[in-house]
Structure 1
């Protein structure tokens, strides 16, 4: 009888520990930010006419840059994601801060783009065949005779 009570209490303790990890469904999902966090106070400091040096002091180095003729653009990307404990990542919000400079390295304008402003691009899946690429192993052996 005491052995049966001991087994039952051990089973109850194991069950309690297992259920303690599952008390809330939010413990399985963590929210985090990938990339650059764009604070509102920094956005308010960037105005037309300011220099690239000041922008670097306020926001730091850009994640990517682009040059169109005599205009330069700096991009800061913030992506808020939910990640499950199983490694699956779901994008909740994406913000891209674009700052455009003239040839004198002064701010012309700034723009904030959201996930809804983006466009899906279909990747072309057709391929141009090249010599020997589509031959199978057996084709290769037979062609050697």
Structure 2
């Protein structure tokens, strides 16, 4: 009789333990959800890259029309390149890119060319902040697209050059 009581108790306790244990399907589901959560959190950590000139905040506001070339060099620093189209022009070139995951290629998110035009007296004549908008070169200061001419023939290869890097 005592044996029947022990067997009955063992059967009940083993049945309870089996119900407390997670089933295999749930264990695999839990592992898959953990891996998915890790992948999503890593995907949210995009790396950002800045190439070329890093413009100080408020730098363009410190350069009024008529400022000297020396004042521009003090505020902006050495230009990325200098051109002499019809007067001297300082170009400050920058590019921002980001990569979603470490093994993925970088994707360019922004390209800018800040152009500072000088007259024959080496005074600021005009400021322009060129970027790409809808695939076209666009001046974000005057809100215009430059027309063809010497300026466009210089800016177009510049954007192609920094896009290919």
TM-score, normalised to structure 1's length? Answer: 0.61
Aligned pairs (5 A) from 1:104-119: 104-116=121-133, 117-118=136-137
For 2:106 and 2:82, the matched residues in 1 are separated by 26
Which residue number in structure 1 is paired with residue 65 of structure 2?
48
Q: Secondary structure at the match of 1:53?
A: helix
For 2:103 and 2:81, the matched residues in 1 are separated by 30
Runs of 4 or more consecutive aligned structure 1 residues displaced over 4 Å after TM superposition: 18-21
Alignment gaps of 5+ in structure 2:
1-30, 138-151, 161-165
Q: Secondary structure at the match of 1:86?
A: coil
Q: What's the CA shift for 1:74?
A: 0.6
**Aligned residue-pair number:** 105
Selected match of 2:52 from 15, 19, 35: 35
Which residue number in structure 2 is paired with residue 66 of structure 1?
83
Alignment gaps of 5+ in structure 1:
1-14, 124-145
RMSD: 2.8
Please state which structure has a larger fraction of its residues in helix. Answer: 2
Q: What's the CA shift for 1:48?
A: 1.2
Q: What's the CA shift for 1:102?
A: 1.2
Aligned pairs (5 A) from 1:115-126: 115-116=132-133, 117-118=136-137
Which residue number in structure 2 is paired with residue 127 of structure 1?
none
For 2:57 and 2:122, the matched residues in 1 are separated by 23
Q: What's the CA shift for 1:87?
A: 5.6
Q: Secondary structure at the match of 1:105?
A: coil
Which residue number in structure 1 is paired with residue 6 of structure 2?
none
Question: In the alignment, is residue 81 of structure 1 matched against residue 81 of structure 2?
Answer: no
Specify the structure having the higher radius of gyration (Cα): 2
Q: 1:87 to 1:103 in 2, by over 3 A?
A: farther
TM-score, normalised to structure 2's length? Answer: 0.54
For 2:53 and 2:104, the matched residues in 1 are separated by 21
